[in-house]
């Protein structure tokens, strides 16, 4: 792969910024259109209906993780992390596997 000059890099960045501005302006005018709103809402509703079970499972999985993290914060605040390790071994392992506890 050939190296790009500083000028070429700046040109690419400037083109990217201009495209983002154009896209934002286009969306700002489009979102006022009633047909666009109806289509967008319908698309979002169908996506929600299609993926409802996946989201529910994700929230359930995170519920256990967030509960364990909350309990850890309590023990950290009271300087009793060793007691957390002893009392809540399963929660400790979960946090350790996610990289929260090293």
pLDDT, residue 47, reads 96
What is the separation of C-alpha 25 from the centre of its chain, rounded to a whole number of angstroms? 25
Q: Enter the pTM of the model.
A: 0.47
81/76 Cα distance (integer angstroms): 6
Q: pLDDT tens for residues 49-94?
A: 999 999 898 888 889 889 999 999 999 999 998 999 899 999 999 8
84/73 Cα distance (integer angstroms): 10
Range 23-36 burial, b when 16+ CB lie within 10 A, else e: eeeeeeeeeeeeee
**Percent of the chain topping pLDDT 90:** 71
């Amino acid at each position: 792969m050939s190296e790009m000059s500083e000028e070429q890099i700046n040109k690419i960045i400037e083109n990217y910024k201009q495209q983002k501005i154009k896209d934002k302006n286009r969306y700002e005018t489009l979102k006022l259109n009633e047909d666009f709103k109806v289509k967008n809402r319908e698309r979002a509703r169908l996506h929600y209906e299609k993926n409802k079970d996946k989201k529910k499972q994700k929230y359930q999985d995170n519920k256990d993780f967030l509960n364990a993290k909350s309990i850890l914060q309590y023990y950290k605040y009271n300087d009793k992390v060793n007691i957390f390790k002893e009392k809540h071994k399963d929660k400790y392992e979960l946090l350790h596997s996610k990289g929260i506890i090293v």
